[in-house]
Amino acid sequence: MTLLEMSFSGAVFIIAVVVIRAIAINSLPKKTFLVLWEMVLLRLIILFTIPSSFSIYTLINHGISTPVFFEAETDNVPSAVSREYFVLIQGTEQPVTNILPASVLFVVWCTGMILLAALFTVSYLRCRMEFRAALPVNNSYVEQWVKECPLKRRISIKQSDRISTPLMYGILHPVILMPKQTDWKNINQLRYIFAHEYVHIYRFDTIAKLIATYALCIHWFNPFVWVMYILFNRDIELACDESVIRQFGDESKSAYSLMLISMEAKKSGLSPLCNYFSKNAIEERITAIMNTKRTTAIILLSACLIVLVTVSLFATSATASTDSKTNDTLAVSNPKTNTNDIAADKKSDMTIIHESADILHYEDGAPYIHDILTNNTDSTIVETQYCMLAYSENGSPLKLYWNFLDSSTKSIFENIVRTRENILPNQTEEYRGGWSLYDGEIMEDFPKVGNGEANQAAYSLFCLEQVVFEDGTVWNNPNYENWFKTYAGKEIDIDELQSYYPYEYKIESD
């Protein structure tokens, strides 16, 4: 699973949680939303996914790995295929490849990730250095509270003149840091503050914040992940507030809310990895506190059901048996049936059929190649490498600007492409657009290469060079080199071009 796929599926999940949160934030236990956000974090940082028949991608029959092509009926400006691909080079005349732009994007992503991680790290370390100057608290109630604390990890309570609101930091040796100007005689206020911070410590909220920060650094380019980061931190506070109210009873709502307002008025700066007592939108916290209700069996059941359904829909991926649109191309190029051996044991003979590869045109006349394929094997293909050739109406080979997005590219006969997408067993592709070809007279918004003349492509031949299967098996076409020498740059008879498809690869067992 690629980073973009993880980020996209994570964004869909985030949108779903945001909608649920907006509807039910004051109706369900706040822990419900923490569980949902934790599932979102797993979706963002774990590379593998669990296929499910209940996945939203299965239900809409469109997996995240589905290549998106340009549709003739809606797009008037042709462009390159949007699926993940790399243009490879073969032959003496070499075009400029897409590897450089991909490298540039990778450098940009790494730069953003490193800068954001450095920002969080420096901020946290600066706060920790300031906290070292904190002094122990000499107060009988504080000493008694620490002594009676049931947590195995020893909690320290200190005071500092560098902060204006309570906070906690640390994991194995947690510290509750109080402002130096705290009214130590106000026992009720101290009880609320310590109870709130104790919940943070007990639930290891610092670790949760670290994981959320890690996900944000990885997906810094995704605005939905920023939304998740903000709301996740806010819901951590809401869940702590709810826990305190349940501990002290409904009669504590007013006093606890007034204390929050008082703390909010004193708040200064924030540390990204410390749990501030008054960190989030005060209005939402007060509203949530006043709406805190007893958790009934129906509410608990509803919360569990919502979590189960949401996770099943958005945290899983499409199943191989139903996600038909992740089918890909097994391009075939010999007018006679080829027999190829796959380097793995097969129980029976199988075939993969290239149904067609037509030169079509958008409404404005710009050409593109559209191909339909059927995978009749029992294995899922995860990567293919193939070659495309183009011919004129009279069968003459054409040199095209395949990589037309780069004005410095050269025209060549062949275009060799590697795609990374699933090709499911026993599935046929549906119509979805194709590989756009350059037409300098029509595509005004793109760089002009060569003379900018309209190409005369009328036929296209494909040949598969390599296939990588889901189980790691790699198949190399033994006839590819012979095919390339036979067809690349050679005149082809019209009858042969017209009868080229449908074409079948027969894959025999060893």
Residues whose CB falls within 8 Å of the CB of residue 111, separated by 6 or more in sequence, listed in order: none
- Give the integer Cα–Cα distance in Å for 242 and 464: 60
Contact 52, 323 (CB under 8 A): no
CA–centroid distance for 7 within its chain = 2
Q: What is the DSSP string of 422-439?
A: EE-TTEEPPP--BEE--B
Last residue of a domain, one of 284, 314, 344: 314
Q: Could you tell me the residue range of the domain that residue 115 belongs to?
A: 3-64+105-314
Task: Pick the last residue of a domain from 245, 280, 314.
Answer: 314
Nearest of 465, 463, 467, 478 to residue 384 by alpha carbon = 467
Residue 141 domain flag = yes
Residues 216, 123 share a domain? yes
Q: Identify whether the C-beta of residue 72 lies closer than 8 Å to the C-beta of residue 433.
A: yes
Q: Is residue 69 part of a domain?
A: no
Would you say residue 321 lies in a domain?
Answer: no
Specify whether 175 is located in the same domain as 203: yes
In this predicted model, what pLDDT tens digit does every residue of 81-111 receive, in sequence order?
334 444 444 443 333 344 445 678 889 999 9
pLDDT of residue 318: 73
- Interacting residues of 12 by C-beta distance below 8 A, sequence separation 6+: 56, 314
Is there a domain that residue 151 lies in? yes
Structure tokens at 40: 């979102």
Residues 308 and 334 in one domain: no
The stretches in the chain having pLDDT less than 70 are: 1, 61-102, 266-281, 319-349, 362, 364-365, 403-409, 430-434, 438-455, 508-510
Residues 344 and 309 in one domain: no
77 inside domain: no
How many domains are contained in the chain? 2
Greatest alpha-carbon span in the chain: 98
Query: Could you identify the residue written with the tokens 């005369």?
Result: 456
**What three-state secondary structure class fits 311?**
helix
Beta-bridge partner residues of 400: 412
Q: Is the pTM of this model over 0.75?
A: no
DSSP letters, 340-368, are: EE-SS--SS-EEEEEEEEEEEE-TTS-EE
For residue 305, what is the enclosing H or E element? helix 297-314
What is the structure's pLDDT at 409?
A: 61
Chosen domain end from 283, 314, 345: 314
Q: What are phi and psi of 184, to 5 degrees?
A: -75, -10
> Looking at the structure, do residues 261 and 383 belong to the same domain, yes or no?
no
Question: Does residue 435 share a domain with residue 380?
Answer: yes
Helix (H/G/I), strand (E/B), else coil: 329: coil
Q: Does residue 32 lie in a domain region?
A: yes
- Separation of CA 239 from chain center: 27
- Is 80 among the domain residues? no
In a shared domain, residues 117 and 253: yes
In a domain, 193, yes or no: yes
Measured CA to CA, the distance from residue 101 to residue 23 in angstroms comes to 42
Residues 275 and 415 reside in one and the same domain: no
**Same-domain status, 122 and 172:** yes
* DSSP bridge pairs for 175: 156, 169
Residues 130 and 187 reside in one and the same domain: yes
Same domain for 456 and 493? yes
What's the distance, CA 501 to chain centroid? 37
Whether 303 and 341 map to the same domain: the answer is no
509 phi-psi bin (left φ>0, alpha ψ -120 to 50, beta other): beta
